[in-house]
Every structure is written in C-alpha cells, then in structure tokens.
Structure 1
Amino acid sequence: MLSSRCAIRPAGSAVSITLLALLSLSPVPAVAQPSEYYDEVGRLLYSIDAQGVVSMFETDALDNTVSVTRGTREALKPRITEISPSSLQTGKLTVVMFKGANLVGAKFSSKVPGIKFGGSAPRAVSAGVPIEVDQAVPLGPLTVEVTTPIGKTDATLTVVEPQIDLAALARKKEPEYRELPPGKPESCPEGMVAIGSSTGGFCVDINETSPGDWVEVEKACSYKFKRLCWSEEWEQACKVREAVGLRNILGEWEWTRTSEYAAAGEQGSGGIVTENEDWLAVVRGKQACSSKDRKDPWTGGVRPGRCCK
C-alpha cells in the first residue's frame, strides 16, 4: 500500500522541472551591435552589420563611391605587401608608397621619437605617405604601425644616412652659385659669422670641418643643416678673415662645393689623363685667398672644408 501511494506522483514531473531550469539558464546568442566609422570630413569608411559582416567603402576625390568590399573582420584587416622606397634618409622628408590591401582610412605612426607623418588619402590598395625623419633618429630598422578601424599591421623601413647625388653634381658643367640678397645676413647660427657681399650675403663657420674626402666633408655640413661653401663664398670670407675672426682658413687646401671639369687630355679624376671631360672638386687656400686647385673628390686626399649657410 505504501508503495502504491508513492506511485501516485506524476511520472516525469521532475524531468519537466529540470528541463525548464536548464532552458532558463541557457545563454541567449548575442547579436552584434551595428557600427559605422567615418573620416575627419564625414566620409563613410567602414560599417559592421548585426551579423558582423564588414563593408569597406572606397571613394574618389569627389566623394563618389568607387568600390565596396565586404567580408569578415579578419579578411578586411590591413595588409602591406610592397614599400617604395624602403629607406628613409635622416634630416629629410620622403614620400613613401605603401601597397597592399584594405588600406582605406589607414593611419601611419611610429613609437620612435623624431618621426613625423604627413597627411595622406589612402586608397584600398595603396597609400602615399610623407615621412620626415629627424637628424637624431638612430640608423637601422624602423617599425611603422598601420592602423584602420578594423585592425592593424606593421611595416618595416630602414633609416639611413643622407645620400649625396654625385652623378647629378658631375652633370653640372657650370658651377652653381646661390642667389642671395645683397648685403650681410641679420643673424647667423652659433659658431658662424655673417659675410656681406653685393652678390649675396651668407653665413660661414668660424672653424673648418674635420678632415675627410669630399663626400665625408659634404656630409659633415649637411648633418648640421648647412652646406659646403662655394668657391666664391670661400674667397670672399677669406678676404675678411681677420675682421670676422675666421680660424685656420689659410695654410692647407680646403674642399669647396664648386666643381670644374678637366678637359680631354688633362689629368682628371683618379690622376689619369682623360679621354673625355672629367669632374673635379675645387680646393682653396693653400697659400693665399686666391690659391686654387682641382682634386679628385674620391681619391684626391683627406682635407677639411668649411660650411656655409
């Protein structure tokens, strides 16, 4: 009898209660929140719908939509496949072309101090970015971070020393002379003095550079945001050396920026007799302000120069 009374309990009731409890505790699938991303002037760059599908919008200069690419967030992350040029010179601004995919709205940055990125208008597959490198930035690899609202990637450039186009200098048959206002500059950087001239005033270093070949001396001036003095400037400065306090300007040859050509049949670059015209650097100051000679810029010996600005 006791067992029969116990059997009155409805079969399966405990199971029903358990199922309801499990259903009430089961998580409800989350629905993605739609979102949109715009640039600084209000152009739509990316949108993400409730299912997580990403749309990338590419526009032209007139704000016309030229392409729409859809895919997952992973598929539309930015990618870099090609960089040109791959190196940056210290003290200069270089426009670097990044090529790849999904670059709409990309921002370029670096954690290294002294790197400045100019404005750009990235397309889906390319972006031309002006990059200015301070003179103090260490030489070697440089990591550039490329970021969009969808993701980010890294690109690697190389920081190198400033390059001098010697071939371009050699093509200049007539020595250049910089056109500057007549008279004397109102002020000069520390360590320089002002030289007045009817053909253009300039600043010149009081001291000569460390000795080196022509390329090394030219680099030494460019690193200080100066330039090697032209031959004409050097002579003008030499004539007033005592009045302005120039040091060691006479007694040994000094490199100048001016170039001349050895005609065919003369001793030219490398000390050989030339069959054609050959470029030579002008040196000044061995004995007097008028002293002048021509030397091979690469193998013509080690000597100082003087920087102008």
Structure 2
Amino acid sequence: MGLRTLAGMPPALSVQALEKRYDGVQALAGVDLVVEEGELVGLLGPNGAGKSTLVKIACGLVRPTSGAVEICGAPPTSADARRALGYLAELFRFPGWYSADELLSLHQRLAGSDGDRAERAELLRLVGLDEAADRSIDTMSKGMQQRLGIAQALIGSPRLLLLDEPTSALDPAGRRTVRTLLEELRGRGVAVMLNSHLLSEVELVCDRVAIISRGKFVAEGSPEELSHARGVEIETGSGMHSFPDAEREDAPRLVADLVARGESVYEVRILRTSLEESYLEVVEDTQE
C-alpha cells in the first residue's frame, strides 16, 4: 500500500497566537506557524526555548493556555488529527523481542491503519531496512532502530510528520538514507516538521527554518535567506586574497583588478554564513 499524495487540503499544521504557561513560566508566548503540504520545516532553538511544548501541543498531549493549533484543519485531540499525524519522539523504546515486521504490525493496529504486509514492506524499504523485516529489535544498532522509528511514524500515510532528532543516532550513510526519504516524502505531499540539533542536516534538507527562543519565533526563512554575506576570497599565484566586506557582485571587479596587477587567478570563493553561524547570532542576541 503506497503513501497517498494529497492535494487541495488545508495546511498540514497551523499554529495561531499559541501561548502556554506552566505555573507562571511562559513556555510559548504567542507563536504563529504554518507548515504547508509537502514542506520540510526545521524547528530550531536552544534547550528550554519551547520546541518540545509546541510539539506536545501539536500531538494533543498538552493543552495550550490560549491560541489555536490545527492538524490538517482538525483540532489536535480529534481522531481526524491523529490519523493525519505521524510522530517520532527523541527518546523512544520498542520491545526488543519484536521483529521489525511485528513492530510495524502492532502500530498498524494501534493506528487503525488499513495497511497490510505490503505497507510494512514498503516502509521498511523506504528506510533501508527491507532486509531486516524478521530481525529482532534488540539485535539492531541504534541507527537501525532510529530508522525503524521513522517507519512506524509513517504508518497510515500521515499528511504531517513530527520528527524529534531523527538523525541523531545515525552514521553518515544513515543520515543520507533519511535525507533521501524526506525528499521522497516531499514529492508525495507529506509535510515534515523536523526538530534537530544537527544544523548541517537541517540546512541540507529543509525548505524553511523557524528559530524559537524564549517562547517566541525570532527568525524564519529558507536557510539561504537566514544566511548573509561574509566576504570574498580569491586564490592567486601569490597566495590567498581576502575581501571581508565584499559581496558576490564585487567578485568580477576584484578579479579584474588582480589580473591587471599581473596575478594569475585560480579560484574565487563567495563566502556566506552557515545556518549554524546564523542560528548562533540570532539566539545569542535574544539571550542578552
């Protein structure tokens, strides 16, 4: 049974003026966020910023103090929302004596999925575990268990996936498998909100990033939009020439000047801040 591609639906996730207070502590201070179908959004922020609270409210596990959340147009505690949502927690534990196939079969029953062995086989293939269907979980590496967790989150063809640190236990090959999977899900119209501290992974796969600090979103945009220029470097026969205040548009003139001075130019690098650098700048500003 294949994952369904859906169109013409409300946003996969809609968050409006969301607030949550715990005994006087403001965990969320009026946040707004929309995740459209087929969109991969990275949710970033320091510990205690409000990420987990937002995810728990979206899952229907915590009630907000005020504001509204909808999963595919339905309240998060409704049966419709739960059918539309797949979730993988950062800290999870599956029964070690189950095989991968048995675990997915259990979650099919729990989710009320009408899928069968074909759905389980496809999900194991998607996460690169098609050869491990009959292998017991306690013999799997942590990375294999992480990928199995992603497979169980996909049971029932959810329109929205909430993934908490899905690549934290994976080696480079495993992270590439997950990136490929997320790109395939994007093509099928599945929305993903990805919470990760591996900012290099978020930068590679996410369409948009939302940075939360002290219960508020402090920056939002594509990884490219959140970065900024930090100069031009030009390698010549006499060495490296750095122009920290230059931008992309300045590069042809800088090269022409160096050639006019008799330099042989071998490489030009347009420098921009990484997502990690941009994230640290934004978060450190809000912590002051």
TM-score range, shorter chain: under 0.3
Larger radius of gyration: 1
Q: Which structure dedicates a bigger proportion of its chain to strand?
A: 1
Asked which structure has the greater RCO (Cα within 8 Å, sep 6+), the reply is 2
Scaled by the length of structure 2, the TM-score of the pair is: 0.22
